[in-house]
């Protein structure tokens, strides 16, 4: 129920953002652009490493494209949306997808995305911060 409510709020907020008639300037960060694969999730003090890829599942990934376009895959679904960066490494992600047949790894990823608000780029590493002490840690896909 909680996941469904979070997804509904996320989709509603995207609908509101895209239907406002107000033009949003997308700040594209060239270092951020490209495909990133989720390697681990930090929730408070616990680090959860990427599990072995299950048969029929996708690599959990985000692809930051130019002009603020965002594509991705959860463990079993495709995601589309947008991103916008601003000063002091703030980031806003928006978009949607389904949660059909997600693995627990995919669920953690999908549930964290609406709360992401900061990012940090390191050599071939991207950290997306959410909920104060939590983070999604990605490696640049080759």
Q: Tokens in use for 56?
A: 């029929």
List the chain domain ranges. Answer: 2-140
Average pLDDT over residues 72-89: 93
Query: What's the CATH code, domain 2-140?
Result: 2.40.128.270
Report the pLDDT value the prediction gives residue 96, as an integer from 0 to 100.
Answer: 74
- Report the distance separating Cα 142 and Cα 136, nearest Å: 19
Averaged confidence pLDDT in the chain: 81
Q: Tokens in use for 26?
A: 């997308």
CB 27 within 8 A of CB 86: yes
Within the chain, residue ranges assigned H as helices are 2-18, 104-112
CB 49 within 8 A of CB 108: no
The pTM score is 0.77
Report the pLDDT value the prediction gives residue 110, as an integer from 0 to 100.
Answer: 92
The full DSSP string for 83-94 is EEEEGGGEEEEE
């Amino acid at each position: 129920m909680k996941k469904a409510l979070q997804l509904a709020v996320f989709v509603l907020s995207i609908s509101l953002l895209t239907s406002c008639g107000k033009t949003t300037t997308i700040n594209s960060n060239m270092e951020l652009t490209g495909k990133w694969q989720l390697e681990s999730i930090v929730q408070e003090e616990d680090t959860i490493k990427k599990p072995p890829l299950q048969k029929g599942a996708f690599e959990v990934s985000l692809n930051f494209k130019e002009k603020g376009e965002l594509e991705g895959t959860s463990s079993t679904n495709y995601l589309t949306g947008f991103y916008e960066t601003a000063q002091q490494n703030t980031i806003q992600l928006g978009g949607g997808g389904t949660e059909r047949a997600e693995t627990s790894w995919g669920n953690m990823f999908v549930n964290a995305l609406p709360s992401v608000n900061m990012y940090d780029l390191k050599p071939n590493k991207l950290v997306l911060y959410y909920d104060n002490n939590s983070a999604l840690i990605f490696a640049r896909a080759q």
